[in-house]
Amino acid sequence: MRRILLLAPLLLFTAGCGLARSAESGATDVARDAAGKAAEQLDGRPPRTAEEVGWAASQIEGVEVMRVTGTSTHAGDGVDLVVRTSGSAYNRWVDLEEITVRRCFTVRVSTESRSREDPHAVDCPDGPALAFAPPPEPPRLPGEELRAALPRVPRDGRVDEAGVRRALAALDLDPGIRTEVKSDRGRVGVVLVVEAAEGDHVDPRDCLLARVVPGATEVWVPPRIQRMPGEGGCTVANALDPAPPAH
């Protein structure tokens, strides 16, 4: 009996240590889950540079970016990040308080990824979290300026494609705006597309259409549904022969 009594404190201490380790493990799992959710948010977007991926990750609540490796999401294996997250678990048997840990994990962001692996735990790099400059704002499409610059052709006149191109050149458009001009059956169609949105497979594209025909010069933004990826709304063909709005 005496031996049992002597062993009892040791057993309680051992059990308590096991429970403490279990709570820490649970807190680590919570931190790992936060890193996995961050990776899901970063995936499925257009091709981006490592700097842009790092900035996007740093904007996710509870995520610190400790290291960035790679050049872009569409080059090689993509971009590898070491992120630091925190997690908490409750241990009611030892100290009646939550155990909170901060852990680092590696996540990969790539346009070629087909499946997601669980974030891999790594030692946290020394030093503070990295800071990133926000990406530049996309250029504004000059709707009113384009409407004012394009030629007005009389009903019995002839549309001059060269004149339309000169009008576009005079606008001195942002390099981030791609333009296309095409003539067809006495009409000239124009499309302006923000290049930054070209690779996005999620959001509507940012574009502006125009058409110059004898007796009418039109400038418009296609409906949102037509600007979604794969819908063909931001094309010079849609400028020449506008698709009817969706019902």
> What pLDDT is recorded for position 247?
52
Q: Is 247 inside any structural domain?
A: no
Q: Do both 107 and 57 map to the same domain?
A: yes
- Give residue-wise pLDDT tens across range 157-181: 999 999 999 999 999 999 999 999 9
The whole-model pTM stands at: 0.62
Range of the domain at 23: 2-122
Residues 114, 205 within the same domain:
no
Q: Dump pLDDT digits (tens) for 179-200.
A: 999 999 999 999 999 976 444 4
Are the C-beta atoms of 233 and 246 separated by less than 8 Å?
A: no
The token duo for 108 is 């990969």
Going through the chain in order, the beta strands assigned E by DSSP cover 64-69, 79-91, 97-109, 120-122, 177-184, 187-194, 207-213, 216-220
Check whether residue 53 and residue 161 sit in a common domain: no
pLDDT in tens, 91-145: 766 656 788 999 999 999 987 755 467 799 999 999 999 999 988 888 999 999 9
Looking at the structure, do residues 67 and 150 belong to the same domain, yes or no?
A: no
What 10-17 contacts at long range (C-beta under 8 Å, 24+ apart), as own/partner pairs, is 15/93, 16/93, 16/94
Does one domain contain both 38 and 149?
A: no
- The alpha carbon of 114 is separated from its chain's Cα centroid by a whole number of angstroms, namely 17
Residue 104's beta-bridge partner residues?
Answer: 84, 122
Number of domains, the chain: 2
Burial 27-43 (b: 16+ CB within 10 A, else e): bbebbbebbbebbeebb
- Final residue before a domain boundary, out of 90, 122, 154: 122
Tell which wins on pLDDT, 152 or 76: 152
| Mean of per-residue pLDDT scores for the chain | 85
